[in-house]
A = this chain, B = another copy of it.
């Protein structure tokens, strides 16, 4: 299987992640192929998608993927199949000529979020993350009694989801008073952190009141994106009791601008590895044969950091940690089944994020909170700089790839964002 597109290889043709880009005043859906993006709406208008049903063709011309997501797996497969036909080197010459008109160089494109995420749920699916964070704050009792029974999650703030590439302004916020009876301080967060996560994009939703059984969960998943759940740890520590994280998270959440379809990830399914001897059996609504067999994904994940100094020295982004999503305690299907078990409705485009992806080793910890033990033990970067927390000008890059012998490698779209300084004051009242 090869592509006629200049520079595109078999892995590119196999991957075909979905995105969206600005074209004059419009936002257009696209897929990535090599160093190019293909304008899907332009293909449709040119008649290249005439073999598809009218509702799929109409969905291709929308400014977000939501309409396509709502159509379900058959529609997704039909579109993916047709796009591959257009891009394979077996496509007739006149087709290639027509498609070539709608390819644009990636480096010139202004990418935007390809989904309108009405809901953003953040799970806590990494046992290693939960335990290490617990050790910091409850050394005697690091893992709460509910952890191995309940796929813990909270509602994130959907309005502040931004596409990777968008600068993130350091937030201001309240932090704990320095002594009892003192006033809390309101200032730029000094404990700014990233969280390495994977977000599952919901395809078809469910009707309010009608749970999705775990055996049906996979057909509700459209794809995945890397997600950076920025966290102001000082703000979070002061505000989070008793109702959970709020302003410590809601100033921005960056997501990679490319959605890898589940179809491209299926070959990388594996059995979940995080269970420990003596672990309780999850309740029946969270258990299913296929999920036990291969409900996890073997996706290698990395966090890289560049700083003002490292960039000035011409250095590449520096590796900070690396791990794998197979270390997660809860699977995507368990997240869907749990989320809807009370009747809560999911909608097309909703994001279900894993929470920080951390492995058993310290170097596989997916956030600075763990790596620096809440800022106490600064890490030393390869260029000699030290970091307890993120500084202004730091740029965090999340990367992920699936590799398996005999299979084309899938490299997920990066999630990159740079920290800009805080506002010095709140904007003045008008």
Interface residues in chain A, defined as those with a beta carbon under 8 Å from any beta carbon in chain B? 118-119, 122, 124, 144-146, 149-150, 152-160, 162, 169, 171-174, 176, 180, 183-184, 186, 205, 208-211, 213-216, 232, 235, 238-248, 250-252, 280-281, 283-285, 338-339, 341-347, 350, 423, 426-430
Contacts and interface: CB of A to CB of B under 8 A. Distances in A.
B155 A429 contact: no
Contacts of A176: 146
Contact of A149 (B153, B184, B216): B184
B211 A427 contact: yes
A149 B182 CA distance: 11
Nearest to A430: B216
Contact of A174 (B150, B211, B343, B344): B150
Contacts of A208: 159-160, 162, 252
A246 B154 contact: yes
A122 B242 CA distance: 13
13 contacts: A150-B184, A155-B155, A159-B346, A169-B209, A183-B281, A186-B285, A210-B427, A213-B429, A215-B429, A247-B344, A248-B342, A250-B342, A251-B343
B345 A160 contact: yes
Given A243-B244, A252-B343, 14 more contacts: A144-B242, A146-B184, A152-B239, A155-B246, A157-B344, A186-B283, A186-B284, A213-B428, A213-B429, A215-B430, A243-B245, A244-B244, A247-B339, A247-B342
A350 B159 contact: yes
A311 B343 CA distance: 27
Contact of A342 (B173, B180, B241, B338): B173
Question: Which has the most chain B C-beta neighbours within 10 Å: A124, A169, A347?
Answer: A169
Nearest to A214: B429
A251 to B, nearest CB: 4
Contacts of A238: 146, 150
Contacts of A159: 118-119, 205, 208, 344-347, 350
Nearest to A243: B154
Given A245-B244, A246-B155, A247-B338, A160 B344 contact: yes
B174 A149 contact: yes
B342 A232 contact: yes
B150 A251 contact: no
A159 to B, nearest CB: 5
A17 B14 CA distance: 55
Contacts of A246: 152-155
A383 B81 CA distance: 65
A213 B240 CA distance: 23
A280 B177 CA distance: 12
Identify the 5 closest CB pairs spanning chains A and B, nearest first: A244-B244, A215-B429, A171-B342, A154-B243, A155-B155
A173 B344 contact: no
Contact of A157 (B155, B171, B211, B239): B155
Given A159-B119, A169-B343, A184-B283, A426 B213 contact: yes
Nearest to A217: B429
Contacts of A171: 342-343
A320 B205 CA distance: 37
Given A149-B174, A283-B174, A157 B119 contact: yes
